[in-house]
Chain A
Amino acid sequence: MALEIQTSTLQQRRQTFAHIARRFGEDRPASRYEEATLDIQPMENFYYRPTWDPQHEIYDSSRTRVVMEDWYELSDPRQFYYSTYTINRSKMSDNVEKSLDFVDRRSMLAGIDPDWQDMVRFYLLPLRHAEWGANMNACNIADVGYGAAITQSAIYAAMDRLGIAQIIGRIGLAMGGPEALAAAKEVWMLSEHWQPLRRLIEDSLVIEDWFEQLVMQFLCADGLLLPLVYDAFDAQGDAHGASGLSMICEFMVDWKKDSARWTDAVLDKAIKESQQNKDMIAGWYAVWEPRVAVALAPLADQVLGAAGSDVLAGLRQNLAERAARLGIAPTAEVSA
């Protein structure tokens, strides 16, 4: 019997969902990120206004003064949707676990100079609470933000902040058990060096405009606080035998870069959209960046001593350059 093998091609009728094809203007294959993001949030036909905010619809773009023609312009350059995000972060947290094991087996945290151990308890452990504040801010952006592009990335950032708080918690447990964490909370609540930062974080929790909150948290606060703690303080620790701590904090160093990439992409799109957006964001930057710098000054002085103010000035300069690349003109205050 003769056997004839043929291939037959089945042409699929659609390359992607109809709402994605309408957006593209053609029916072409879309990436998973695009399919999991674009136009996911309802935009119309809301029946009841939320009882907790009857001035607005449940999803309402007027909750911020930033105006976008298309809110899906604010996409994530990392293209994180649920599966890529979780895979990426699980790899990063595996590295943290390995570092913790490595450091634990060699008792590297106990080998840090006793004076510097106290310093780490002073500057690092209370940051759990600052990270919790950042988590709340990111949650709020996810809650009241507009468009799944920004709210999706914001809730991932919120989870990351809890992750960082947990890593700091693990360090605290390794350096003195639950008592060390309780003591760190006392420092956060009572130490005079921490009160300006605590006040700043608490003020940021009640910012009305979610885009202002984004500028404050992810550009102004993270832009100064993270490099100060995880670069400058960490480098200072090397001289005191704290290289084990650097290994564990590598997550935060990687995350800082990852998050800045997202923040810059979002701000860049919003600023390029209109002069009005640009002025708005530049105004928020001019309000919050100096406040963050003032709040961090006592910590920088305490940890770095006389070099503290110079290091902080250098970080402000770096942040001003980053902001200038985004189109936020340096204010007289920063350049002075």
Chain B
Amino acid sequence: MTSNVAIVLQNTEDARAIIDAIMADNPAASVSRYPAMVKIDCPGELVVNRDSVSSRIGREFDLQEMHLNLVNISGNIDEDDDRLVLSWHA
């Protein structure tokens, strides 16, 4: 059985584009909305693509900007300039 990875973001204007991008790029992901934050769970692996976020936010997005809205993260991180991948290293 694959366990879930998760990312939790604040419920802000910028985060909305990140959440939309994650949901578009990870069909298996499920989203739970809370009053001030949004938790996204995904079995196995979850990817955040810079290009997907940029096209939704209307400007060049630097993946490091995500930290301004990041509450929590669960999984091992593999990150470069273009994408951030969460997974569990077996």
List A residues at the B interface (Cβ < 8 Å).
9-10, 29, 31-33, 76-80, 84, 88
Tell whether, in the assembled complex, residue A10 and residue B35 are in contact, meaning their CB atoms are under 8 Å apart: yes
- 18 contacting pairs across A/B (C-beta < 8 A): A9-B34, A9-B35, A10-B35, A29-B16, A31-B13, A31-B16, A31-B17, A32-B13, A76-B58, A77-B58, A78-B58, A78-B59, A79-B57, A79-B58, A79-B59, A80-B58, A84-B58, A88-B59
* Residues in B whose Cβ lies below 8 Å from that of A31: 13, 16-17
What chain A residues lie within 8 Å of B59 (beta carbons)?
A: 78-79, 88
Interchain CA distance A88-B35 in the complex, whole Å: 29
**What is the chain A residue whose CB lies nearest that of B13?**
A32
CA distance A31 to B13 in the complex (A): 7
CA distance A141 to B13 in the complex (A): 30
Total A-B Cβ pairs within 8 A = 19
Which of B16, B35, B57, B58 is packed against the most chain A CB atoms within 10 Å? B58
Interface set, chain B 31-60, CB cutoff 8 A to A: 34-35, 57-59
List the 9 shortest-distance A-B pairs measured between CB atoms, nearest first.
A79-B58, A78-B58, A32-B13, A9-B35, A77-B58, A31-B16, A29-B16, A78-B59, A31-B13
Residues of B within 8 A of A10 (CB): 35
Closest to A10 in B: B35
Smallest beta-carbon distance B74→chain A, Å: 21
Query: Who on chain B is nearest to A75 by CB?
Result: B58
Q: Across the two chains, which residue of chain B brings its CB closest to A77?
A: B58
Chain A residue numbers with a CB within 8 Å of B58 are 33, 76-80, 84
- Bound together, the chains give a CA A125 to CA B17 distance in angstroms of 42
Minimum CB–CB distance from A34 to chain B (whole Å) comes to: 11
Complex Cα spacing A333 to B3, Å: 63
CB distance from A78 to the nearest CB of B (A): 5
**Which residues of the other chain, A, contact B34 by a CB distance below 8 angstroms?**
9
Which residue on chain A has the smallest CB distance to residue B58? A79
What is the distance, in angstroms, from B79's C-beta to the closest C-beta of chain A? Answer: 26
Q: Which of B1-45 contact A (CB under 8 A)?
A: 13, 16-17, 34-35
CB of B44 to closest CB in A, whole Å:
27
**How long is the Cα–Cα vector from A9 to B32 in the complex, in angstroms?**
13
Chain A's closest residue to B35 (CB) is A9
Q: Chain B contacts of A79 at CB under 8 A? A: 57-59
Give the shortest distance, in Å, between A11 (CB) and chain B (any CB): 9
Give the distance in Å from the alpha carbon of A331 to the alpha carbon of B35 in the complex.
57
Enumerate chain B residues within 8 angstroms of A76, measured Cβ to Cβ: 58
User: Known pairs A29-B16, A31-B16, A32-B13. 9 more at Cβ < 8 A?
Assistant: A31-B13, A31-B17, A33-B58, A76-B58, A77-B58, A78-B58, A79-B58, A80-B58, A88-B59
Complex Cα–Cα for A77 and B58 (A)? 6
Contacts of A32 in B (CB 8 A): 13
CB distance from B77 to the nearest CB of A (A): 27
Q: How far is the CA of A29 from the CA of B35 in the complex (A)?
A: 13
Complex alpha-carbon distance, A31 and B58, angstroms: 11
